[in-house]
A and B are shown apart, each in its own frame.
Chain A
Amino acid sequence: GESVGLHLPTLSVQEGDNSIINCAYSNSASDYFIWYKQESGKGPQFIIDIRSNMDKRQGQRVTVLLNKTVKHLSLQIAATQPGDSAVYFCAENNRGSQGNLIFGKGTKLSVKP
């Protein structure tokens, strides 16, 4: 779906706490999902991905959970650090088609020291 809006949802957490960022995706045919981190004035940076045949994947300090029943994706960041402050986007992709990424609205994460 389209991602249009003038205000990004914001999540404010204390340094050291865990963060959970949520995303609802639109296409039930999407079979590949990615989380990106975007710092101000920069391009998106890959964080972690997950395929539709999985419901959980872990990386370094990050975990992605996929619930295909309700078309929901979440990103968990453990022991959040000030350097994690950025806007986080989920993106969905249908590899069977052209494979274009569709980006979600984004969530701004602010980490208080």
Chain B
Amino acid sequence: GAVVSQHPSWVICKSGTSVKIECRSLDFQATTMFWYRQFPKQSLMLMATSNEGSKATYEQGVEKDKFLINHASLTLSTLTVTSAHPEDSSFYICSADRTYEQYFGPGTRLTVT
């Protein structure tokens, strides 16, 4: 149990375009999901906390207008990278909270050309 999926697993987009990443909890409901970003050989950095039915809480330094988060249901949160630039290329990982334990998705590799 406690499986979290992400889609797509990898995506290549052109600079200036927008990309949407989905995070789904497959066998449980999650009122809270988290979005992390991980650059090569670095640790996971929390970007934002996504709460079902309310606005996301962004960490300091993360632009909310650039990284749009929508948590429209108890099993789905989406992260949209708007007007992507090469510096946004990274590994994006989501996690879903179930009884205060986080279960991680497999990650999405974003490459902006």
Contacts from A to B (Cβ < 8 Å): 2-8, 36, 41-46, 89, 95, 98-106
- CB pair B44–A7 under 8 Å, yes or no, is no
Chain B residues near A4 (CB-CB < 8 A): 42-43
* Measured CA separation A4–B95 after assembly (Å): 21
- CB pair B41–A8 under 8 Å, yes or no, is yes
Shortest beta-carbon contacts, A-B, top 3:
A3-B43, A43-B104, A103-B43
- CB pair A99–B41 under 8 Å, yes or no, is no
Known: A102-B46, A103-B44. 6 other contacts (CB 8 A): A4-B43, A41-B109, A44-B93, A98-B57, A99-B97, A105-B43
Contacts from B to A (Cβ < 8 Å): 4, 6, 34, 41-46, 49, 57, 91, 93, 95, 97, 100-107, 109
Q: A41-B109, A43-B104 are in contact. Are A6 and B41 (CB under 8 A)?
A: yes
Chain A residues near B46 (CB-CB < 8 A): 100-102
Chain A residues near B57 (CB-CB < 8 A): 98
Q: A98-B49, A99-B100 are in contact. Are A43 and B43 (CB under 8 A)?
A: no
* Measured CA separation A8–B19 after assembly (Å): 29
Contact of A101 among B91, B102, B107 (CB under 8 A): B102
Chain B residues near A100 (CB-CB < 8 A): 34, 46, 49
Taking the closest CB of chain A, its distance from the CB of B5, in whole angstroms, is 10
Chain A residues near B91 (CB-CB < 8 A): 41
Chain A residues near B95 (CB-CB < 8 A): 43, 101
